Structure 1
Amino acid sequence: MMMTDRFTPGRALRLALLTLGAIVFLAPYIFMISTAGKAQSEIFSSSLNLIPQTWSYAENFAKAFGRVSMGGLLLNGVIVCGLILVVQVLVAIPCAYAMAKLSFRAARLMMALVMLGLLVPIHATALPLYVAFDRLSVLNSYFALVAPFSISVFAIFLFLQFFRGIPDDLIHAARLDGMSEAGIVARVVVPNAWPAITAFAIFSVVAHWNDLFWPLIVVTNQAYATPPLGLLYFRAAEAGDDYGALMAATLIITLPLVLAFLLAQKRFVEGITMTGLKG
């Protein structure tokens, strides 16, 4: 009976659809890994082989590290994403706690502003921000890369949904013990909010690690280039045609995100699930 339930047509169809979706999702990564190990002549040959005929991984990775400061690109990516994440969390948690657990007249107005902020893309504010940073002479700096993203309305909304699920009795008990609101946030709310913080961290780091639009506007000095912007410099250095080395560089830049997600996968799923159920 168990074998019949396990191999029903419906289950087989779902498994086939999931397998097809996984193949479609992984296809670019498979192509990237394959191309990173091919010689230039093989990449532009008429035949399509996923397994390289002549393994050129060592040569292509050597070009990736030698012709572009790959270590500098990765370091800039870590600094920018880390600063953005820390500032976003420090700003969003108190805001979300106030909206979820404190009573004040402007609560509905703030909620409306948060929802409105979710509708405004960075592209709409790019020009005035660029003009302001140019007049302040802060272009080509970490400040220019970090400042526009220091307030994340998505983080406020996500933490707000999570904090609403924290029992009010727990907050009242902390107040009776003499804790200030700042102490409650630091010692009660944050320790219980790590799943939501981890989930948001994945969203934030992936978005800003892969962001090309804003760095392309405010950075012209290669010393401050982020990983996606560094790939543009890499292609220029390679005259735009050494795709084996370019795919090797792309693989190097993508690998940290994959490892970070795999390490935080359990917390990420838990945070998304709990936030969704408590919304």
Structure 2
Amino acid sequence: MIPLFDALFDDAAVFPPGDLPLPQAVPAHQAHRSAWYAELVGPFLCGANKLGELAELAQPGMPVTLVLPGGPDQLAPALAATAGLTVVGVELAAGAKAGVAALDQLPAGVTGAVELARGESLFAELDVLAGTPYRAKFRTGGLAAEAFPSEAELAAFVRGCAERGIAYKCTAGLHNAVRHTDSRTGFEHHGFLNVLLAAADPARAEEALAERSGQALAAAALELTAGQIAVARASFTAFGTCSIAEPLDDLAALGLLPHQENP
């Protein structure tokens, strides 16, 4: 089952709600990268304001993705501050046209993603992103109920990307495998396993996103062919999670990981 989850979990430990200090987050990430589940862990996500401190703490070769909510104007200064770091990706919030123009300046081998605003303009923005090498970034949660898109809205995004051949990553609120209602906040959280199954079959995306049975989702995941897994992961490339342990625990409980000691 691991190919379905290969490099799926981008390490967002320093972002809310985790807010782990860099002196703790960096060693933890390095431990993840040497653990039995290392192939499931994506790059370390870092904002522009922490790059100097990160450069002092990171071991050589640790993959880093820059997260730039301030948009294209943050890109050049952030890249200039990355001496000594292995930057593998850049994510910036922008309109698609401005985002593509900025990302066209990236060094070779660095992936780019544009975080697009939700709403009526989303699909016109996806039209601009289509045909470029860049991913869409879609927000699936946050600190308020309205930050969580409905099943229908997320399904429309999944289908829209599939129709245009656009890969995407998700951010916020997606660190559990299965769709659920948070008992503390009452927020409706999407599950990353739901999103993977939606990506594997976009025509049935809303049905996959609505499923709340972990057993049903696990059974469906186990039935995916190698081709379907390839389709799912070519579309849904990663999501940011402030906890690497939590998604691993969920997958282990569903029987979708080898029997190993979790972090």
Determine if the TM-score, normalized by the shorter chain, exceeds 0.5.
no
Higher helix share: 1
Q: Which has the higher contact order (CA 8 A, sep 6+)?
A: 1
Q: TM-score when scaled to structure 1?
A: 0.20
The structure with more radius of gyration = 1
